[in-house]
Amino acid sequence: MAPTLVHGDHLVVNKLAYARLSIPFLWTKEDPRNRLSGNYTFSAPTRGDIVIFSPPNHVSLDYDLVKRILGIPGDTVVINNDGLYINGQKHIEPYLSTSDYQVAASSSISPSNVFEVKTGHYFVLGDNRGYSNDSRSWGTVSGANITGKVWLTLPQWQIWDIPRELFPDDS
């Protein structure tokens, strides 16, 4: 996720941001509010959110990932050397340099680099595009796999890095 996040940063994650309210005796299975893509208590994930999620089941990683949501349900995402296009409109990403748009090879999931985001799924990309293992490699992420939204980023520090002068004298 460099340059947005760097190795060693501490993340404060809001795990309630995408919490789901499920009231089985009020909603039936046929009720559209009970679908995977909806039913969020506060809000659904939106484009631009940096999220923590478990990788899809077919990906052999045993740790959670941090990526930026760029495609939401119903979107068509196209990546080429000119940039990122969502539903035919060029998506401006001010957090990236222009050199980050280069696409060296086609995706193993979509050889044409066109991705359709289905209901209940999200297209995620790392900000360090040249080295990121993301939706280009293994497809979209189910909303059920998203753990939370990155709320705050703190640089790496340790309590002993703080000067002693900042602590009141106990004597």
**Above 90 in pLDDT, residue 113?**
no
CATH number of 149's domain: 2.10.109
Q: What is the pTM of this model?
A: 0.77
48: left (phi over 0), alpha (psi -120 to 50) or beta: left
What is the number of structural domains in the chain?
Answer: 1
The answer to whether residue 51 sits within a structural domain is yes
The answer to whether residue 28 sits within a structural domain is yes
Residues 6+ apart with CB under 8 A from 47: 69, 70, 71, 72, 86
**Above 60 in pLDDT, residue 157?**
yes
Other C-beta atoms lying within 10 Å of the C-beta of residue 31: 11
Calpha distance 43→148 (Å, rounded): 11
Structural domain span for residue 34: 10-73+118-157
29 pLDDT band (50/70/90 cuts)?
low
The answer to whether residue 21 sits within a structural domain is yes
Calpha distance 33→158 (Å, rounded): 45
The answer to whether residue 141 sits within a structural domain is yes
